[in-house]
Amino acid sequence: DAGVIQSPRHEVTEMGQEVTLRCKPISGHNSLFWYRQTMMRGLELLIYFNNNVPIDDSGMPEDRFSAKMPNASFSTLKIQPSEPRDSAVYFCASSSIGQVVYQETQYFGPGTRLLVL
Amino acid sequence: RKEVEQDPGPFNVPEGATVAFNCTYSNSASQSFFWYRQDCRKEPKLLMSVYSSGNEDGRFTAQLNRASQYISLLIRDSKLSDSATYLCVVNLFSGNTPLVFGKGTRLSVIA
């Protein structure tokens, strides 16, 4: 079975450019999470969706960040304009409600390594 | 106070050693607990869930102390392949809600 798919795997861009990160969750999963990981701050939640609806975007750093989930199999995270401090690894994860509701496993994609110069 | 705190390490141990990691969490209402493993330049992967009664999976034992709000992971007979960063993870709610990650404890098992 395919896991969570993210693209691109690596992105190098210049400050001020628009960056779009893409995620395809595991088929059948109904929750999708975007995380960002840096050495200084570790893994931080940016936003998450349940059944394609954004539930909590309080982790989005500022208005330069936006995320969409137009259908159950695709989500994007956009940064416009990008800044050097956005350099990080961005992970997408998905999960589904199981029989034991408090023990759902989140499956992570391989991440997108973003470097903003 | 950070929500989930871990000793960053690194823990450098010889093969065959037993090593233990602890983690503390700040929210007493937290519902579920996990250990994730993250290899260098890879994504986090679930290692094991942590149950109130404690649980074991081969060489790995996880325990939860709700009264003291800490979680532990014990690795027996360490292998070179155990070298990774171990992330302590807490879910504040039940259901499909975000996980709160510690920054991780780095383990290096040396031959």
pLDDT in tens, A44-98: 999 999 899 998 898 998 899 999 999 999 999 999 999 999 999 999 999 886 5
Query: What's the confidence (pLDDT) of residue A104?
Result: 66
Report how far residue B111's alpha carbon sits from residue B109's, in angstroms, rounded to the nearest whole number. Answer: 7
Mean pLDDT of B80-97: 86
Nearest chain A residue (CA) to B89:
A43
Query: What's the confidence (pLDDT) of residue B54?
Result: 85
Report how far residue B80's alpha carbon sits from residue A46's, in angstroms, rounded to the nearest whole number. Answer: 34
Cα-based angle A104, A108, A110 (whole degrees, multiple of 5): 170
Range A87-97 burial, b when 16+ CB lie within 10 A, else e: bbbbbbbbbbe
B96 contacts A96 by C-beta, under 8 angstroms: yes
B36 contacts B42 by C-beta, under 8 angstroms: no
Chain B residues with beta carbon closer than 8 angstroms to that of A101: 94-95
A55 burial level (CB within 10 Å; 0-12, 13-18, 19+): middle
Query: What's the confidence (pLDDT) of residue A103?
Result: 47
Q: Is A58 on the interface with B (CB under 8 A)?
A: no
Q: Is B98 on the interface with A (CB under 8 A)?
A: yes
Cα A59 to its chain centre, rounded Å, is 11
Q: What are the tokens at B6?
A: 């871990």
Note whether B96 contacts A43, CB cutoff 8 Å: no
Chain B residues with beta carbon closer than 8 angstroms to that of A49: none
Confidence of residue A102 (pLDDT cuts 50, 70, 90): very low
